[in-house]
Amino acid sequence: MQTWPSHPVPRVPGTPRPLRLYDTATGEIRPTTPGPTATMYVCGITPYDATHLGHAATYLAFDLVHRQWLDNGHDVHYVQNVTDVDDPLLERAERDHSDWVVLAMRETALFREDMTALRVLPPRDYLGAVESIPEIVEAVAKLLSDGVAYRADDEQYPDIYFDRLASGHFGSVSNYDADTMAKFFAERGGDPDRPGKRHPLDALLWRTARPDEPSWDSELGPGRPGWHVECSVIALNQLGMGFDVQGGGSDLIFPHHEFSAAHAEALTGLHPFARHYTHTGMIGLDGQKMSKSLGNLVFVSRLRGDNVDMMAVRLGLLSGHYREDRAWTDTVLDEATARLARWRAAVSRESGPPAEPTVARLRDHLADDLNTPQAIRALDAWAADEGSDTAAPAQIRDAVDALLGVALPGWSGV
Ligand code: 5CA
Ligand code: ZN
């Protein structure tokens, strides 16, 4: 798939700080320890509707991970998928009497524009499930021949399922107990009551073709991939086992990231799949999680259409900590707009307070599990102060650009 355009990231003088991130699997804030090339896989969209501010907040959080690693001198290999065939997409296309392929293409194109407008650095590899089907088939065939996957006891539709205990590490990502797993499995795309499975929590790997559903011929028989194996295979093929960060929203902890890891670990016999599992909190509106199924959405594209400054949206979404569930309100946007105006005025001055201590605080806060609220406070303090350092305004502008991704001159895309 085509990715979206990048933009130059300024180098910031001074000493970068190694990034520490919360890891869901261990429940600790731990240092990330990348080699010369840092590796990250972030779960992409299911393109059946436009990008809302919840999606945007999640991609912004991982954009900051990307930027902190660049600051530390790493090359960054960032991979993202597009779930361009799955039940929600097919259901929406059917509801709207539209072609699911065209729907996916349209929403993915809009997503690219939204990411560009929000100044999210693009992934190096942007891959769809559909274009990855040959590799997915190969992986499912191996799981089947290794005896860790099986066909459902169903003559008409012998779908292929994964024995959840096959990797020996099931539960090590989420650490959820059996009741919590059962609850989220049912709520988040699982099929616990499907007859013919050996255990309610076993996950779908390959869905045998049904009438009026898209399917692909393969050595497994005609069908289409399950959801979790898509991310296992794309991450494994592009990054290999033990990559630095697996990312997504907290709604992906279980079953999605638990099974993506379990599939990959069963395939390779290696552990762990990722060295950090990092999850963002949910953005809500009117007291509920923003979600396509509830329909309480604020779309990035709609805000663009209303000429809302995307840098204010970016700053507003970064004004809360990425791990907190938090609400999007008019106040969040108004405060961010006012802050942006103050910062823009401050970097347009002839001189200001010396930049170095503020840049050091910015780096310290961001390296500490992306503490953006504190980082923003440090910049507020600089902008509110007077000083005679003539180099400082440009230095702060570059640091805000590189580390927070906020362009202080106007930004109208690349
Ligand atoms: N295609 C799958 C991942 S492989 C998927 O979950 N797609 S999605 O379109 O539903 O979500 C895309 C990303 O946005 C996921 O990381 C998801 O966790 C995140 N996300 C969805 N809703 C919210 C929300 N309200 N707040 C924050 N992040 C969200
Ligand atoms: Zn995923």
> Angle at Cα 257 formed by Cα 184 and Cα 104, nearest 5°?
90
Residues whose CB is under 5 A from ligand 2 (ion)? 43, 231
Say yes or no: CB of residue 54 within 6 Å of ligand 1: yes
CA distance 96 to 261: 35
Mean pLDDT of the chain: 96
Average pLDDT on 193-204 reads: 97
pLDDT at residue 295 greater than cutoff 80: no
pLDDT at residue 294 greater than cutoff 80: no
- Pick the residue with more confidence: 277 or 293? 277
Distance 98 CA to ligand 2 centre (A): 25
Q: Which of 357, 283, 270 is nearest to 323 (CA)?
A: 283
Q: Contacts from 147-154 at CB under 8 Å and sequence distance 24+?
A: 148/266, 149/205, 150/198, 152/194, 152/195, 152/196, 152/197, 153/195, 153/196, 154/195, 154/196
Q: What is the 3-state secondary structure (H, E, C) of 223-250?
A: EEECHHHHHHHHHHHHHCCCEEEEEEEH
CA distance 407 to 410: 7
What pLDDT is attached to residue 229?
Answer: 98
Contact between 17 and 367 (Cβ < 8 Å): yes
Which residue is closest in CA terms to ligand 1's atom 4? 43
What pLDDT is attached to residue 30?
Answer: 98
User: Residue 146 contacts by C-beta under 8 Å, 6 or more apart in sequence?
Assistant: 266
pLDDT at residue 314 greater than cutoff 60: yes
pLDDT at residue 414 greater than cutoff 90: no
Task: Find the range with the poorest average confidence among 154-163, 228-237, 404-413.
Answer: 404-413
What pLDDT is attached to residue 405?
Answer: 98
Say yes or no: CB of residue 249 within 6 Å of ligand 1: yes
What pLDDT is attached to residue 15?
Answer: 97
Average pLDDT on 63-92 reads: 98
What pLDDT is attached to residue 409?
Answer: 86
Contact between 260 and 164 (Cβ < 8 Å): no
What pLDDT is attached to residue 286?
Answer: 73
Q: Which of 340, 325, 301, 285 is nearest to 118 (CA)?
A: 301
Q: Which two tokens stand for residue 31?
A: 């240092």
Alpha carbon distances (Å) from 108 to 49, 83, 89, 402 = 9, 10, 12, 26
Distance 45 CA to ligand 1 centre (A): 6
Based on the number of CB atoms within 10 Å of its own CB, is 378 exposed (0-12), middle (13-18) or buried (19 or more)?
buried
Alpha carbon distances (Å) from 202 to 46, 151, 198, 263, 275 = 22, 11, 7, 11, 24
- What are phi and psi for residue 24, nearest 5 degrees? -60, -35
Ligand nearest to the CA of 50: 1
Question: Which of 1, 89, 107, 252 has most ligand 1 atoms within 8 Å of CB, for mutation?
Answer: 252
Distance 331 CA to ligand 2 centre (A): 32
Q: Of ligand 1's atoms, which has the minimum distance to the CA of residue 289?
A: 25
Q: What's the pTM value of the predicted model, to 2 decimals?
A: 0.97
What pLDDT is attached to residue 411?
Answer: 76
Q: Which two tokens stand for residue 29?
A: 């804030």
What pLDDT is attached to residue 370?
Answer: 99
Q: Assign 3-state DSSP to the chain and report helix, strand, coil percentages, each to 5.
A: 40, 15, 40
pLDDT at residue 259 greater than cutoff 80: yes
What pLDDT is attached to residue 413?
Answer: 67
Q: Contacts from 373-378 at CB under 8 Å and sequence distance 24+?
A: 373/319, 373/320, 373/321, 375/403, 375/404, 376/315, 376/318, 376/319, 376/339
Place of tokens 């891959």: 127
Four-point Cα dihedral 235, 263, 62, 237, nearest 10:
0
Which residue is closest in CA terms to ligand 1's atom 12? 45
pLDDT tens for 265-274 read: 999 999 999 9
What pLDDT is attached to residue 331?
Answer: 94
pLDDT at residue 166 greater than cutoff 70: yes
Confidence band (pLDDT; 50, 70, 90) for 354?
very high
CA distance 245 to 13: 26
What pLDDT is attached to residue 292?
Answer: 67
Largest CA distance in the chain: 80
Distance 198 CA to ligand 2 centre (A): 24
Q: Which two tokens stand for residue 404?
A: 């927070």
**% the chain with pLDDT above 90:** 95
Which residue is closest in CA terms to ligand 1's atom 14? 55
Average pLDDT on 128-135 reads: 98
